[in-house]
Amino acid sequence: MFETPEAVLEADDLDREQKIEILRRWEYNVSEEDVALEEGMPGEESGLLRRILIALGTLVGPIDVSHTPPSKQHGLPRSSLKKGD
């Protein structure tokens, strides 16, 4: 539906919570792809994960990436996304 994380931020028809959920799901999917690359699957890193995290940070403020779940893909737990005012 969206070509870039920045397009999610610019979507006027979505509220803040919807944008956060879209970016969180996208972050998880890209993290899964990064794990596949680490394990030798063909493909290239795109820098998309960084852009998604920047977009999320725009919506929620600083992201606590020091506390990740015990999984290979290190997807962000909801607790690492601090709610903005």
DSSP 67-82: S--SSTT-PPPGGGBP
C-beta of residue 51 within 8 angstroms of C-beta of residue 58? no
Nearest to 22 by CA among 47, 48, 56: 56
Query: Can you give the pTM of this predicted structure?
Result: 0.68
Where do the structural domains in the chain lie, given as residue ranges?
5-80
**pLDDT value at residue 70:** 45
C-beta of residue 75 within 8 angstroms of C-beta of residue 68? yes
**Weakest mean pLDDT among 2-6, 47-51, 75-79:** 75-79
